Amino acid sequence: MTLADEWIPIKPSSDTALIDALAYTIWDEGLQDQEFMDKFCIGFDEEHMPEGVPAGESYHSYLFGKKDGIHKTPEWAEPITGIPADTIRKLAREYATTKPAALLPGYAPQRTLVGEQVCRGFVALACMTGNVGVLGGSTGVPYLKQGHDAPGMSLYPNPYPGEIPVFQWTRAIDQPETIDPVYRGLKGVDKLDIGIKVLYSLASGIVINQHSNINDTKRILQEEGKLDCLVLSDLFMTPSAEFADILLPGVSFFEVDNIPGTWADDDYLLYNHAITAPLFGGRFEYDWIREVAEIMGYKEQFDSGHDSKESWLRHNYENCRAGEKELPDFETFKERSYYIFKERKPVVNFQENIKEGVPFNTPSGKIEIFSKTLYDLGRPDDIPGTPRHIYCAEGPEDKLMEKYPLQLIAYHTKRRCHSQGDGTAILAELDPTSLWINPEDAKARNIKNGDTVEVFNDRGVMRIPAKVTKRIVCGVIAVSEGGWYKAGKDGADLGGSINVLTMSDKATPLANGNPQHTNLADVRLAK
Burial of 379 (0-12, 13-18, 19+ CB in 10 A): middle
* Per-residue pLDDT tens over the stretch 193-224: 899 999 999 887 889 999 999 999 999 999 99
pLDDT at 2: 57
Rg (CA), the chain: 25
Instruction: Look at the domain 399-525 and name its fold.
Output: Barwin-like endoglucanases (2.40.40)
For residues 420 and 365, the model is more confident at 365
| Percentage above 70 pLDDT, the chain | 98
pLDDT band at 186 (very low <50, low <70, confident <90, very high): very high
- Sheet strands (E) in 361-428: 367-368, 406-411
pLDDT at 265: 66
* Per-residue pLDDT tens over the stretch 232-276: 999 989 999 999 999 999 999 999 999 988 776 678 999 999 999
E strand or H helix at 218:
helix 214-222
**Cα end-to-end distance, the chain, whole Å:** 42
In terms of phi and psi (left: phi > 0; alpha: psi -120 to 50; beta: otherwise), the region of 26 is alpha
Domain ranges within the chain, ordered by starting residue: 15-144+349-375, 166-196+250-340, 399-525
pLDDT at 509: 94
Computed over every residue of the chain, the mean pLDDT equals: 93
Under a CB-based contact definition with an 8 Å cutoff, are residues 96 and 86 in contact? no
pLDDT of 1 higher than 50 = no
Pairing type for strands 41-42 and 367-368 reads parallel
pLDDT of 145 higher than 70 = no
Under a CB-based contact definition with an 8 Å cutoff, are residues 243 and 230 in contact? yes
Instruction: Look at the domain 15-144+349-375 and name its fold.
Output: Dimethylsulfoxide Reductase; domain 2 (3.40.228)
